[in-house]
Each structure stands twice: as structure tokens, then as C-alpha cells.
Structure 1
């Protein structure tokens, strides 16, 4: 079966989903051993259902690319009891084909592709077998999903891009990539929330502030949100420099 459909290869096996113990107060529900659209969908949908079900003793939930993590109070629950609750919920439906969580938004984020602001567009395009203009069209025409938040506060991993973008990370690190940078590798995009070294290729630049520690909601993007990166000129991006959203606009999806 193909990863592109609504059923992942793992859904057809006895091995997945898998429930595992994580330390004295955690459980991990994994939907595969590698990233796929259905496995990510399943993790997001299962975590949302778990939050609605509120099993006794559960104190926190979160998702990674293909898993849902559950932290519980070991004074009031043990692993065996929570495992039974998780297994019951897993049997409720086909999570690989489940609807994505409610409350999602679609963001349109102005992005400068290439130029001195994003100097690795040509290199990434060549690795994907495209011209720079073809690469810009490929990225900007694709609506990607926030698959998870990680590495740095509020930083999204987004995907999944087409097979042409299954390009490796660099062998050497770029010494520093700026906040708001858009980078690509392994069919994913990362929008950087902080300035940091990276092995991902810097192909676009935005003015979007992803992490706002003083705000009521410090992380702007949420897992499950849809994102489209819209090409703009450097001059247009500069004109929006005082806007913390960098000109981005959002609409509710569900």
C-alpha cells in the first residue's frame, strides 16, 4: 500500500498501533515506525480524542510526528490501568483515516524565496531536479500541515511535500539561520522560531514570529494547522517588518 492514501502500511499489520511505557509516569502510542501522512493524522486525531475522553489520572498529552504521548499521575493510576484505557480508545475507530482535530486554521504566510535573504534555494532546487522557479511554484502551490512542534519553542515541522523533495539534509551545518527562515529536507519544511545552526537548506524567509513568550498562547501555529507559503518580494516583506505575523493571515477550517 502507498503512504499517499488514507491507510498507512502500518495499519494493515498487527504491530501498529503500539503502546509503550515511557518512564514512571508516561505512555506512548505510536502509529508507525516512519513518517507518513496517515500516521501523522492518526497521532493528531488520537490525541484530540484522548483529550476529550479525559481518562482518570492523565495530566498532559502531546504529539510527535507519528505518536501521542500521555503523562499521568502514578499515585492514582498505574501503567496497566492506563494501557487498558488507551487500548479501548484505539479500538474505537480506524485512526489512520480519522478526521483531523477541530479548531484547525489555514495560514497564508508571505515568503521571500531565494535572493540574499534565503541563499540556498538554487541548491535545494537542483537537489530536487527543478529550476528555482519550478521549486518556488512547487512549494507555494502546496498546502502543508503542521505535523508537530519541536526542537525549539513554537517551531513547526510541516509536510508532506511531493516525492521530488525527498532530498537529504546537508552534510555540514549552516552556522546560523535567522528567525522566520523556511528550510527544506526529506519532504518536509521547517519554519524556524529562533536563530540557530541547521543542516536544512534555507530556501525562504518570512517575518512571522512563531514564539511569543508574553502572549496568552505563546505558540502561534498548532499541530494540524494548514499552511501555504505565498511568494512576495523582499521589499514587500520589509514593509511588513513591524507586524509580528509578517503579513500572515489565518482562517478557521473547522
Structure 2
């Protein structure tokens, strides 16, 4: 009861409206509230009680950042609002880590799909793409077998150059009929940004690193979910990427019963 009272005090009487009134201020306040260095026994109950308004603040902050990008241009936004984007993605990280049982039910799946299409866009700066990949892998292993076909397509498109189709373009109804809207980059790279010599190798290593490091950060109620979630994401990596990394790889081979012919 004490934790719930504290959470309500933080959210104030206006609830979602109070939190959403000033996007920049609210996202920074929430980042401080759910900081990774704060005792998890305080943060997790807070998010369990207030998951809906907290997600609203995260989503509102991202949409606000995107609107500023369109109005002011990339350079101006990078200077004055980039911290807001980092705060919003940090808040998403904490939500995924501490509320996996909620996201496993595909809660807010459409909203997250919309955001991941934008932050995973190959036209973004590499730092954002790598962070987006880490967050997406966490979400993907949490949802597991309940994933959508769109999530599978995003997973298969994490590394450009592999023989998979790009993100499908969803039709959107407009006054003149159907118009098609493609996902656009959030922060395009500057002309001076340096990229790895072998970008494909770099991104593949990023995926494998995220699969190993993020699975233990997720706070499941049922601890058996750790092995289940890792097995799922590794099996998907093996099915999607390994055949093209190792074209002669035979999945029927076994270290314990090798086929030497």
C-alpha cells in the first residue's frame, strides 16, 4: 500500500493527463524514478501499478521528438532534443526489463511495432540502430511464440544485405483513397559519421551480443522463462541468419553424432 501511495503521489491527481502535459519534463522525471540504480523492489511495484500512464509518457515523448524533428530539422533536434529521445528509450528499456509478463501478452504491440520500424530504419545513425536492435531483441524474446508476422519480418531485416524483403508498407486511408506511408529514419547520419568497414559483420555481432546479454536482464516471475526465451530467440537466429552465414551448414549434424561423409 505504501508503494502504491507513493506512485499515485508521483503521478498526481491528473493521472495520464498530468504526466502528458509536459513531455520533456515528465520523461526526465520518470527516468530518475525508474533508474537502474534504484532498488528493484521499489521500481517494479511502481511500474506494475502505473504501467499504462508510464507507457503513455514514453510514447508521447517519442512522438513529440518526431514532431520536433519534422518541424525544426535534424540538426536542430539533435542539439536540443536528443536527450529526450534517449530518455524515452531508456524508459522503454525499464518497462521491458521489469514487466515482461505484460509484454508477453502482446500489450501495446501495435504502438511498439510503429516505433521499432522507425528506430530500426537503416537510414538512422549507427548508434541509434544498435540501441534499437538491443531493445527489439529484448521485446522479441519476451513475446516469443506469440509474436506477429511483422515482428518476424523486422527480425529478419535487422541486418541489411540478407535475402529478406524490407519492411512491408501498410496502406493508410486518406481523403483521396489509399496512400502508402513508408517508415522514415529518426536521426539520419551526418556526413562525418564513420561506419565500420564491415557493417554486416558489425550488426551480426550486435544481434548475437544482445541475445546473450539482454536475456538475463528481464525480470520474469517464472524463472523458467529465461531458458525458454533464449532458446526461442536463438532458434530464430539459427533459422533466419545461419543458412546465409554458413551456406553449407547442415542442421541435421550433431557434435555428438557427426556426419563425416
Quick check: TM above 0.5? no
Higher helix share: 2
Instruction: Tell me the TM-score normalised to structure 1 length.
Output: 0.25
Instruction: Tell me the TM-score normalised to structure 2 length.
Output: 0.24
Higher strand share: 1
Higher Rg: 2
